[in-house]
């Protein structure tokens, strides 16, 4: 099977129009935050942010498959001593546009730099908003299971009576838990909080993701051969990680220097053998493949 990396230059609002309807399995992106990083790649003022983003999210809704997921990494800034509300306003407007706001993950930045502010503490987390087109979507939960760890040793040893039977949800959701089911298991499902350090190793972009961030969501929401889109590509972290994980990817970037940089480094086409550890790469026009 072949995976591709399609790197495109331009404003994603326009370039997205070139992509087919229902063609992408996962959109994973971090757009410029309002008014931040003016000196590097420009910002949008907080009061214009929602209007700026909606034409992009309309196109994203069109290109995403019904079974697909859109994960938006964003965090509102502080202006005049107050948190802006544009992220909340954006969620409401995107729901009006037809998106379902399925979940919110938190990225806890483990290595957040020290500092002191008169009216708040260090900002150590960002949002990852999950949007879908429909209530049922592709999700490979077993791919992101975590070791049970010490929790099992402590909590599971002291099971209460309700823990030993199915404890019906107190909010009437119909879901319940029977904690004793988890005894003797080595792995558990993770929470919606991801603990990852920001990465200083990627010096190519002032706001690059740590690779572990797209990797975790690509694992959760796609399988090998699927297509991942990052419409605000930057240094291409999403695309490089997708390629390493045998997914096709599309990246869109407005600044020529980032576009050129990614285009030069990424392999445009790669042959993969599903369900083996061997990887094959094209050797150019002679059509032969080499085992890596």
Ligand X SMILES: C[S@@+](CC[C@H](N)C(=O)[O-])C[C@H]1O[C@@H](n2cnc3c(N)ncnc32)[C@H](O)[C@@H]1O
List residues binding ligand X (CB under 6 A): 11-13, 30-32, 41, 205, 207-209, 232, 234-235, 237, 252-255, 258
Of the two residues 12 and 34, which places its CB atom closer to ligand X in the complex? 12
User: 241: which residues sit within 8 A by CB, 6+ positions away?
Assistant: 211, 214, 215, 218
Element (DSSP H or E) covering residue 129: strand 125-132
**Least distance in angstroms from the C-beta of 224 to ligand X:** 22
Cα separation of 216 and 54, whole Å? 26
CB of 264 to ligand X, least distance (A): 15
Supply 201's token pair. 């190793």
* Cβ at position 83, least distance to ligand X in Å: 19
Residues constituting the chain = 292
Kindly tell me which of 139 and 255 has the beta carbon lying closer to ligand X: 255
- Minimum CB distance to ligand X smaller for 209 or for 216: 209
**Which C-beta is closer to ligand X: that of 131 or that of 272?**
131
**Per residue in 119-133, is it b (16+ CB within 10 Å) or e — as a string?**
eeeeeeebbbbbbbb
How does DSSP classify residue 228?
Answer: E
Pick 32 or 46: Cβ nearer ligand X: 32
Of residues 261 and 272, the one with the C-beta less far from ligand X: 261
Token pair for 33: 């935050």
| Residue 65, token pair as written in the block | 């498959």
Q: How far is the CB of 189 from ligand X (least distance, A)?
A: 26
- As a whole number of angstroms, the distance between CA 267 and CA 262 comes to 10
- The residue behind tokens 């369900």 is 275
Q: Residue with CB nearest ligand X?
A: 234
Calculate ∠ Cα 96-98-101, nearest 5°: 85
Helices (H) and strands (E) in the chain, counts: 8, 17
Rounded to the nearest angstrom, the gap between the alpha carbon of residue 254 and the centroid of all alpha carbons in its chain is 20
* Residue 233 vs 272, nearer CB to ligand X: 233
The least distance separating ligand X from the CB of residue 115, rounded to whole angstroms, comes to 21
Provide CB contacts within 8 A for 142, sequence distance 6+: none
Minimum distance between the CB of residue 217 and ligand X, rounded to whole angstroms? 12
| Smallest distance from ligand X to CB 133, Å | 22
Please give the structure tokens belonging to residue 169: 């949800």
């Amino acid at each position: 099977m072949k995976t591709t990396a399609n790197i495109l230059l331009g404003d994603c609002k326009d370039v997205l129009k070139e992509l087919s309807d229902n063609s992408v399995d996962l959109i994973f992106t971090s757009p410029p935050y309002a008014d931040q990083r003016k000196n590097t790649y420009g910002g949008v003022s907080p009061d214009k942010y929602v209007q700026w983003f909606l034409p992009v999210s309309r196109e994203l809704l069109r290109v995403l498959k019904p079974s697909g997921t859109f994960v938006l990494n964003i965090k509102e800034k502080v202006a005049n001593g107050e948190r802006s509300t544009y992220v909340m306003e954006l969620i409401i407007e995107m729901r009006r546009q037809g998106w379902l706001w399925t979940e919110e993950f938190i990225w806890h930045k483990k290595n957040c730099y020290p500092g002191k502010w008169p009216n708040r503490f260090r900002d150590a987390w960002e949002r990852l908003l999950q949007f879908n087109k429909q209530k049922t979507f592709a999700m490979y939960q077993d791919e992101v299971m975590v070791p049970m760890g010490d929790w099992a040793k402590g909590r599971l040893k002291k099971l209460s009576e309700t823990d030993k039977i199915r404890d019906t949800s107190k909010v009437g959701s119909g879901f319940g838990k029977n904690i004793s089911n988890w005894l003797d298991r080595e792995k558990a499902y993770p929470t919606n909080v991801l603990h990852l350090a920001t990465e200083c190793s990627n010096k190519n972009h002032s706001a690059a993701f740590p690779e572990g961030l797209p990797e975790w969501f690509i694992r959760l929401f796609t399988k090998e051969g699927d297509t991942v889109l990052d419409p605000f590509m930057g240094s291409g972290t999403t695309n490089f990680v997708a390629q390493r994980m045998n997914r096709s990817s599309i990246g869109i970037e407005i600044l020529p220097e980032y576009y050129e940089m990614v285009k030069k480094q990424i392999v445009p086409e790669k042959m993969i053998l599903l369900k083996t550890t061997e990887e094959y790469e094209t050797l150019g026009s002679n059509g032969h493949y080499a085992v890596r």
